Amino acid sequence: MPSSSRIINVCLILLLWLTSGCASDRPPSGGPLDTTPLQVIFSDPAPSTVQVSTEKIHLTFNHAVSARQLLNSVIISPSIGACDIAVSGKNVEIKGFRPLENDRTYILTIDKRLKDNSGRTFSSPYSIAFSTGVVIDNGTISGTVINADCSPATNALIVAFAERPETAGIGSLLQREPDYFIQTDSSGSFSLEHIANGLYRIIAFNDRNSDLRIDTASEEIGLCSRAVLPTGTSNLLFRLSEIAQKSGKFPSRATSNAHAPYETGTISGSCFASGQYVIVEASSLTASYRTTASRDRKGELHYSFPELPRGSYTISAFIPSDGQKPNFERQWNPGSIEPFQPAEPFGFYPEKVTVRPQWTTEHIDIRITTSK
């Protein structure tokens, strides 16, 4: 009997140990790694809530996060100044040092590059809007941001500055606090939503140091082809310019005569754009070639690169803003912030185009859309 009692006691201890192991929050040793993207699964206020009176915002994530990471990732627009952030595992409490104003719509945005304690990030930008008044703002402005090489700008930051009588004459936009922020998604697209109806100046930039401020010396900047944009504007295109010290790295030529005809191919297509002249550019990793699109008797614009060396090319086009007949060295003007000048209207073909020797690739059409 004593032997039987010892066996029973050992079994009870083993059972208790197994039961306590099941209560653990950690995955079992050797189990599959949880790769679920970081998500916000609860918020108070809830999205689009009105008549919010609380001074605190509560969030619950699906994975544990740190206050240190969140401090550099939370943006509230319009700004309420610095925030006090308290974190307990997956639960977060955010309180601004500046109280919320009455009858205002606020947008909370979390940098999609925020990492949880295991390094997981958001699959797309996260934001919620709520109002301290009885209605929530419903203005929108949307578009796309691309890099200098026309690839999607997946981590660009969009800042919007309201054009109001009280902001006139304030000075440089570089010294002003933006009214709204938003990030691009994995395709380079963005949508400013729940913003106050009105007019805005919009700037896209690569916030390399995550300080929410534009540094023209070390960060790529992008402007669209319109200086001031009303809410309701869509189909905007921002192209980030190269950093000053990196620009001009490729030679520019209209056509190539350095290669035998049997080593070259042709790209041709149409441009759908307004204006008398359109410059088309074919860029590879080693060179850039330009030509002008010509209007036929029907008024349609056509272009052709008859002697391109074999390789892969990005095809883009722009409308010269001066209206003068351009030469082949004329480059696209990306605009400027000081003084504020919009970029020249720009368009691009969304896929790389392969040139094969003695082969013509047709219908590489480019549409330079005007914002609506």
pLDDT category of residue 96 using cuts at 50, 70 and 90: confident
Q: Amino acid letter at 266? A: T
Residues 116, 87 contacting (CB under 8 angstroms): no
Cα dihedral sign, 60-62-84-111? negative
Domain spanning 250-367, CATH architecture: Sandwich (2.60)
Report residue 355's pLDDT band, with 50, 70 and 90 as the boundaries.
very high
DSSP labels, 58-90: EEEESS---HHHHHTTEEEES---SEEEEEETT
DSSP state of 7: H
Sequence-ordered list of residues with C-beta below 8 angstroms from that of 198, at least 6 positions apart, any chain: 139, 162, 163, 164, 230, 231
Question: What pLDDT is stored for residue 10 in this prediction?
Answer: 43
The continuous run of DSSP H or E covering 186 comes out as none
Query: What is 137-248's CATH topology?
Result: Immunoglobulin-like (2.60.40)
> What pLDDT does 35 receive?
84
Unique residue bearing structure tokens 């699109």? 293
Radius of gyration of the chain (CA): 27
Comma-separated ranges of CATH 2.60.40.1120 domains in the chain: 137-248, 250-367
Phi, psi of 258 (to 5 degrees): -85, -5
Query: What's the farthest any 2 CA atoms get from each other in the chain?
Result: 109
Question: What three-state secondary structure class fits 238?
Answer: strand
Residue 210: pLDDT band (50, 70, 90) is confident
Under 8 Å between Cβ of 371 and 277: no
The overall average pLDDT reported for the chain is 85
Tell me which residue of 205, 33, 212, 243 sits closest to 119, measured CA to CA. 33
Neighbours of 274 (CB within 10 A): 10
The two beta strands, 105-110 and 74-77, are antiparallel
Residue 246 has what DSSP assignment?
A: G
Give, in words, the CATH class of 33-136: mainly beta
| 119/122 Cα distance (integer angstroms) | 10
Buried b (16+ CB within 10 A) or exposed e, 61-90: bbbebeeebbeebbbbbbbbeebebebeeb
The answer for 311, left when phi > 0, alpha when psi is -120 to 50, beta otherwise, is left
Given a cut of 70, whether residue 21 has pLDDT beyond it is no
CA dihedral 327, 331, 334, 336 (to 10 degrees): -80
Which whole number is the average pLDDT over 53-76? 91
Cα separation, 173 vs 219, whole angstroms = 16
Residue 23 or 238, more confident: 238
